[in-house]
């Protein structure tokens, strides 16, 4: 895995966007689409050779016009989709944890995310809902979606993604409790295997009061039901 100082420029931009304010620089999204699909950061021969072998194995001609640049594009794509491995949690938080005398539930929901199933390297995507009860400290609102993206841009299983988000907030804030619910569609279950479009997987992680106190857990799930009713 490249060190933070060795990242291709297009991956470094994504890492910076997760760690810092998204949209600060005009034209940033367009800047992600540059060049001819190569990283410009030295040869990526092993990945590109492997993609070329896959194309040959399925009976395609990797040298035909439409596929000639595909190995380089696939390499670039995977470095972008796994940029979360390179995010520095300290830079992501950037001091945005504040002392405040508030002890009621904080809920951030309908957070969109995309990730890659580590079993088939196919996408899964959906929304996350994150809640916590402060113990004298809160985290900046924009940081929670970035935490979701930091862990989403990796090879994942949904269960671990859910747990990692909850554990991160528990470790950094030491709140009275944390609750995370993720709902996602897995293309490995839609395009292959059981081939069941519309299937949605739901996972949850509840820590502290969300696990030990029924009314806290019920309040959290009531917020999610209101979202569903208004959808």
Told to judge if 118 belongs to the known catalytic residues of this protein, a careful annotator would answer: yes
Which residues span the domain enclosing 18? 4-86
Give the contacts of 207 (CB within 8 A, at least 6 positions apart).
Answer: 166, 167, 170, 177, 178, 179
204 and 110 assigned to the same domain: yes
Residue 15's CATH number:
1.10.286
Structure tokens at 4: 């933070």
Residue 1 is predicted with a pLDDT of 59
12 and 123 assigned to the same domain: no
Contact 129, 181 (CB under 8 A): yes
pLDDT tens per residue, range 45-70? 899 999 999 999 999 999 999 999 99
76 and 122 assigned to the same domain: no
Query: Is residue 226's pLDDT more than 70?
Result: yes
Told to judge if 149 belongs to the known catalytic residues of this protein, a careful annotator would answer: no
Told to judge if 186 belongs to the known catalytic residues of this protein, a careful annotator would answer: yes
Query: Which residue is catalytic, options 19, 75, 149, 158?
Result: 158
Confidence of residue 34 (pLDDT cuts 50, 70, 90): very low
Contact 86, 4 (CB under 8 A): yes
pTM of the model: 0.83
CB contact burial 190-201 (16+ within 10 A = b; e otherwise): beeeeeeeeeee
Residue 228 is predicted with a pLDDT of 57
Query: Which residue is catalytic, options 21, 119, 159, 174?
Result: 119
Among the listed residues 153, 168, 154, the one whose alpha carbon sits nearest the alpha carbon of residue 97: 168
Rounded Cα–Cα distance for residues 86 and 215 (Å):
38
Query: Of the candidates 86, 118, 144, which is a domain's last residue?
Result: 86
Give the contacts of 217 (CB within 8 A, at least 6 positions apart).
Answer: 179, 206, 210, 211
| Mean of per-residue pLDDT scores for the chain | 88
CA atoms within 13 A on the CB side of 70: 16
Query: Is residue 32's pLDDT more than 50?
Result: no
78 and 112 assigned to the same domain: no
Told to judge if 75 belongs to the known catalytic residues of this protein, a careful annotator would answer: no
Residue 195 is predicted with a pLDDT of 80
């Amino acid at each position: 895995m490249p060190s933070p100082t060795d990242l291709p420029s297009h991956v470094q931009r994504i890492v910076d966007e997760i760690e810092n304010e998204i949209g600060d620089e005009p034209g940033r999204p367009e800047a992600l689409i540059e060049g001819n699909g190569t990283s410009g950061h030295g040869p990526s021969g092993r990945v590109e050779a492997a993609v070329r072998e896959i194309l040959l194995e399925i009976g395609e001609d990797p040298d035909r016009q439409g596929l000639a640049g595909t190995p380089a594009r696939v390499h670039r794509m995977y470095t972008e989709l796994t940029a979360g491995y390179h995010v520095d949690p300290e830079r992501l938080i950037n001091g945005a944890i504040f002392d405040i005398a508030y002890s009621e539930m904080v809920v951030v929901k309908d957070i969109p995310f995309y990730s890659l199933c580590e079993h088939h390297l196919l996408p899964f995507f959906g929304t996350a809902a994150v809640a916590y009860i402060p113990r004298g400290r809160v985290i900046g609102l924009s940081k929670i979606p970035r935490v979701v993206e930091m862990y989403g841009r990796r090879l994942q299983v949904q269960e671990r993604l859910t747990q990692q988000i909850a554990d991160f907030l528990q470790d950094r804030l030491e709140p009275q409790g944390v609750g995370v619910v993720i709902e996602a569609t897995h293309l490995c279950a839609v395009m292959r295997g059981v081939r069941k479009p519309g299937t949605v997987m739901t996972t949850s992680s509840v820590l502290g009061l969300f696990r030990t106190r029924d009314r806290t857990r019920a309040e959290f799930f009531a917020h999610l039901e209101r979202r569903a009713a208004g959808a």
